[in-house]
Chains A and B, each alone.
Chain A
Amino acid sequence: MVIASAVLGAVNWTINPNRPPFSPETLQEGEIDLVGLAALSNPLYLDARTLSEFEEAHIPGAMLLNEDDWDQRVLALIERWEPGRVIVVYCSSLACQASHAVAERLKVEMGIDAVVVLKGGWEVWQEANNS
């Protein structure tokens, strides 16, 4: 049974185009980690979590932009954003997808290409900055 599982796993890894990354640390397209973040000059942070989570705590200078209230909040973003300034979107943790959804809408709807997602989101940033 163990051998059969190993063989099937190896076959899946070889031929499955939708296989997950081998390591959870692997960055997907459009993602950035803390190392990459440190190299950015004056990024504009967007918090894609809920209003209550944002109000509890957020990355200093971050703006709230989620899909609960997109149409209103995106106005504040376009007032503040300048071309060339990289936008970093984050949500609560590795498991959340809200930051990816916000990043996608910024690219497709707003035509803003310089958008990346912080892998691990608020959880990772907080760990790094509280330790």
Chain B
Amino acid sequence: MNLFIRTFLAVLSIPLICKANLTWETREVSQTVDLSAKTAVATFPFTNSGDQIIKITEVKTSCGCTATSLDKKIYAPGESGEIEAVLNIGDRLGVQRKTVRVYTDNGAAPALLTMTTTIPKVLEISPRFLFWKQGETFTPKSIDLSVGVDAPVNITSVQSSNGQFMTTLSVVEEGKAYNLRVSAVGAEKQRGVITIVTDYPAEDPKTYRIHAHVR
């Protein structure tokens, strides 16, 4: 047989000979967490489906915000284990996609695990920072507020910490969308915080802050 063909067949047979391999029950976990959640946890069970002992040499996450834990590193043929990934929610919002790469000593490419976490945004506010330059015309600025949960959210109050920033709230769609117009009065340097209070969730209503500066 031609040397090239023999080499080609040998390369193809490598996966059949070296059967130390982790089989994952799932490589993707998607979930939506509660508003009060501090962390999101995803579990990735696996089994050593090969006929050799396998060692997990490294587990790398795509973000320092995600910690992983593993019971042990060495798994006999047929033995199962799991990797747990914990996302620190902190002030994260919206869809968070974090990956975990699992390296083993079998020479295979690392297994890529994906954890997708949806963190509800009660109110999406854009922008949350208003800036006027001293000397410019103080045109009022507009802020869009849209509800990001499947429930009506009402704004119960809007308060400015500085009377030089005047606010006018209008309802675009009851319980769904609002608009806030902010005017700056006076030409001197100033700053203020506009606090928006909602009625959702009822047990711990969310409050948001918008920063306004004249510099």
Binding site for B on A (CB under 8 A): 1, 49-50, 52-53, 66-71, 75, 78, 82-83, 91-92, 95-98, 101, 108-112
Contacts and interface: CB of A to CB of B under 8 A. Distances in A.
B64 interface: yes
Interface stretch (B14-22, B122-130, B157-165): B122-130
B176 interface: no
B107 interface: no
Contacts, number: 64
B152 to A, nearest CB: 23
B90 A109 contact: no
Given A50-B64, A68-B65, A75 B126 contact: no
A67 B125 contact: no
25 contacts: A50-B64, A50-B65, A67-B90, A67-B93, A68-B90, A68-B91, A71-B91, A71-B209, A78-B129, A78-B211, A82-B215, A95-B60, A95-B99, A96-B62, A96-B63, A96-B64, A97-B62, A98-B63, A98-B65, A101-B92, A101-B96, A109-B129, A111-B127, A111-B129, A111-B131
A110 B65 contact: no
B213 interface: yes
B65 A109 contact: no
Nearest to B130: A111
A97 B98 CA distance: 8
B116 interface: no
Nearest to A53: B64
Nearest to B90: A68
A96 B133 CA distance: 35
Contacts of A52: 64
Contacts of B97: 97
Contact of B126 (A70, A98, A111): A111
Most buried by B among A49, A67, A82, A96: A67
B62 A108 contact: no
Given A109-B125, A109-B127, A111-B129, A69 B91 contact: yes
Interface of A, secondary structure class, is loop
Nearest to B8: A2
Contacts of A70: 90-92
A112 B65 contact: no
A110 B64 contact: no
Interface in B85-142: 88, 90-93, 96-97, 99, 125-131, 133
Contacts of A98: 63-65
A97 to B, nearest CB: 6
Contact of A66 (B60, B65, B130): B65
B91 A67 contact: yes
A108 B99 CA distance: 24
Contact of B129 (A92, A96, A112): A112
A110 B91 contact: no
A52 B130 CA distance: 31
Contact of B128 (A66, A68, A82, A110): A110
Contacts of B133: 83
Contacts of A75: 211
